[in-house]
Amino acid sequence: MVKVGIIGGSGLDDPKILKDAKEIEVETPYGSPTSVLITGAIKGVDVVIIARHGKNHSIYPSKVNFRANIWALKEQGCTHIIASTAVGSLREEIKPGHLVFPNQFIDHTKKRETTFFDEDVVVHTPMAEPFCSNLIELLSSSAKQMGMPFHKNKTVITIEGPRFSTKAESHMFRSWNADVINMSTVPEVNLAREKQMHYAAIAMSTDYDCWREGEESVTWEM
């Protein structure tokens, strides 16, 4: 049976959207998740919602307990994960306000716990196709039906943060064929893969990072 974990999820706890909502607190072998879990149903589909950066968005990217979050969703029976994320665009055609459904990632993080297999067992998880192609197609179809501009099968590069890129870095990432940039997809996506959960991201382009001449560089206020 399909059960969907929603990461991000601001506003989805609205009772007009989420039916039979219930908050639950859980602990994991990796500590506490970044927020309470909210369970319920959206249009008949069982869901579990978690706030990646905490209820008040007070946890910066390097401090997110990604392992606890993914573990908690798996323990609640989630089979699929849909994660929202803000991204900077590294391509002219991906304009602010456009949706992006990536199918590849580049890991440029430095300080995060990236695997569940780091103690008693060594496992090399296949990662050639880290995102779920079926979920990408479903999300793309929904965006098309709603008339929302979107781009699918793009590459997201995740940086450590909390600072934004320099212009030199932004141009380098473009040369690596990255299409959008954020601070949250990795290690979330590979941890979900290790737990055999189908994962897709709904990325919203908010800016052009800092590579585009004549464009205001990204700031927190954006």
Domain locations along the chain: 4-207
Sign of CA dihedral 10, 13, 15, 16: positive
pLDDT in tens, 173-195: 999 999 999 999 999 999 999 99
Pairing of strands 37-42, 45-50: antiparallel
Quote the radius of gyration of the chain (alpha carbons, Å): 17
107 catalytic? Reply is: no
207 catalytic? Reply is: yes
Q: Which of 14, 120, 179, 207 is catalytic?
A: 207
Pairing of strands 150-159, 37-42: unpaired
Q: 190, 127 in Cβ contact below 8 A?
A: yes
* Residue 215 pLDDT > 80: no
Report the pLDDT averaged over residues 44-63: 92
Question: 69 falls in which pLDDT band (50, 70, 90)?
Answer: very high
Helix 185-194 to helix 66-75 angle (10° resolution) is 40
Q: What residues contact residue 207 under an 8 Å CB cut-off, 6+ apart?
A: 88, 89, 96, 215, 216, 218, 222
The domain made up of 4-207 is a member of CATH 3.40.50.1580? yes
pTM: 0.94
Cα separation values, 112 from 62, 66, 81, 116, Å: 7, 9, 20, 12
